[in-house]
Amino acid sequence: MTAIGNSPASRDKAFVLHPYTNLKAHETQGPMIIDRGQGVRVYDDSGKEYIEGLASLWCVSLGWGQERLVEAAARQMRKLATYHTFTHKSHEPMIDLAEALLKLAPVPMSKVFFANSGSEANDTVIKIIWYYNNALGRPEKKKILSRLKAYHGVTVATASLTGLPNNHRDFDLPIARIQHLDCPHHYRFAEPGETEEQFATRLAENLEAHILAEGPDTVAAMFAEPIMGAGGVIIPPETYFAKIQPILKKYDVLLIADEVICGFGRTGNFWGSETVGMQPDILTCAKQLSSGYLPISAVMVNEKVYQAMVAESEKIGIFGHGFTYSAHPVAAAVALETLKIYEDMDMLNHVRSVSPRFLERLTALGDHPLIGEARGIGLIGAVELVADKETKTPFEPAGMAGAKVNALGHEQGVITRAMGDRIAFCPPLVIGTDDIDEMFDRFTRALDAAIPVLKP
């Protein structure tokens, strides 16, 4: 047996199973160990500084070192460190947070259910959709629509909703009743000469044709991110939601807004639903709900869905779903303080004031010889690496270019996320224009360094 060293890196390789990692490569490569953070920067265990251009997986809206959140957690830990919410039990942080979220909802909502991650929130919604249709006496209306390149989580059910091949391969997914429709990415999937509005019309027509082919009495709901995040930061074409929502209403298909990434100001409005014109029946959120400081997520349901759930729980005698840590009081207290900070900092106006510079610098990357498309909205965006700009031909093998540019970014002191050959940016909402410029300066240097490697 090989001896285990005492360094954190050697012990990591010996003991930790990493998510979203090539496990064989990790045995050799080992981890990047992040030691501390302050503002929009993090520092590894050698002291090297990085601008965190993805807010630690789309989460840390308020940056690192936000003392108000530390104090909110400490106060609640001292008062009521933990308690459950089963069988009529409650506590004030949960009640206050639910009330606050309902006041902020983009459309009228009735009740809030709490979970611990976006995956758990969306998994809960799948169960609610089936429960709801059983309550209405529609046992066949259970199919759920998602989209190719969507990302809705990694549980058995939510990974099935996720429309990315590596979330399905050799996990024996997707499960039955979950189906995937067209990806609304104009750059990649529009026909030659097709405008965004024409593309949206075609996708809406395909949606209706799919519902009719399956049978409207079998199609229950459609999940949609306002802006598709982990699939590549895909912004829907103009009029997309305006065209698909009447079709969903026509066939009594619920619309679920997955706001796990887009919520809390990321797109320049409080909710991504407001930015793209969605009017969901159910909304899920997480990540920036607590600025990522503690795990918490929420599901908001409208009155129509809630009343059906009430009737079914009365018939059965219980709503038989929940998590031990649903609305954990410390996480709820931190989330509530996060919402207060957003208000105190006038976060929406801050995002709107700095996003023009973010988008200007992002869009300029579209002129780089390695970039086929640069796209963004608010403070979220991505670039797509291509071998040939004119033909949009991708690099081969897929993912190689993205991994290389991402690694070169680390060398330059910027952390982004490579999703195949798409590189995402989602900095903390508190970022200023100087740090936006520095982030893109570092990334541009990484791109330039990649040219002789990718185009020798």
pTM: 0.96
| H/E segment holding residue 176 | none
Residue pLDDT tens, the chain, 456 long:
456 788 999 999 999 999 999 999 999 999 999 999 999 999 999 999 999 999 999 999 999 999 999 999 999 999 999 999 999 999 999 999 999 999 999 999 999 999 999 999 999 999 999 999 999 999 999 999 999 999 999 999 999 999 999 999 999 999 999 999 999 999 999 999 999 999 999 999 999 999 999 999 999 999 999 999 999 999 999 999 999 999 999 999 999 999 999 999 999 999 999 999 999 999 999 999 999 999 999 999 999 999 999 999 999 999 999 999 999 999 999 999 999 999 999 999 999 999 999 999 999 999 999 999 999 999 999 999 999 999 999 999 999 999 999 999 999 999 999 999 999 999 999 999 999 999 999 999 999 999 999 988
Q: Where does 251-373 have alpha helices with state H?
A: 272-276, 303-316, 329-344, 347-364
Three-state secondary structure call for residue 41: strand
Q: Supply the pLDDT for residue 1.
A: 43
451 token code pair:
């040219």
The answer for residues whose C-beta is within 8 angstroms of residue 68's C-beta and 6 or more apart is 337, 340, 341
> What span, in angstroms and rounded, lies between the C-alpha atoms of 18 and 187?
33
> What span, in angstroms and rounded, lies between the C-alpha atoms of 197 and 92?
47
* One-letter amino acid for residue 424 of the chain: A
Q: Which long-range contacts (CB under 8 A, 24 or more apart) does 213-216 make?
A: 214/143, 214/179, 215/140, 216/251, 216/252, 216/253
Nearest C-alpha neighbor of 385 from the set 440, 413, 424, 441: 424
In Å, what is the CA distance from 237 to each residue of 185, 202, 392, 431?
A: 7, 11, 19, 28
Facing residues of 111 across strands? Answer: 301
> What span, in angstroms and rounded, lies between the C-alpha atoms of 138 and 134?
5
Q: Supply the pLDDT for residue 2.
A: 56
How many CB atoms are closer than 10 A to CB 387?
Answer: 16
Between helix 329-344 and helix 347-364 the angle, nearest 10°, is 80
Q: For residue 296, what is the DSSP state?
A: -
Q: Using DSSP bridges, classify how beta strands 414-415 and 49-52 pair: parallel, antiparallel or unpaired.
A: parallel
For 212-276, give the secondary structure using H, E and C. Answer: HHHCHHHEEEEEECCCECCCCCECCCCCHHHHHHHHHHHCCCEEEEECCCCCCCCCCCCCHHHHH
Q: Supply the pLDDT for residue 455.
A: 87
> What span, in angstroms and rounded, lies between the C-alpha atoms of 259 and 299?
10
Domains and CATH numbers, the chain: 32-65+346-454 (3.90.1150.10), 69-344 (3.40.640.10)
278 token code pair:
């969605």
Between helix 196-214 and helix 240-250 the angle, nearest 10°, is 20
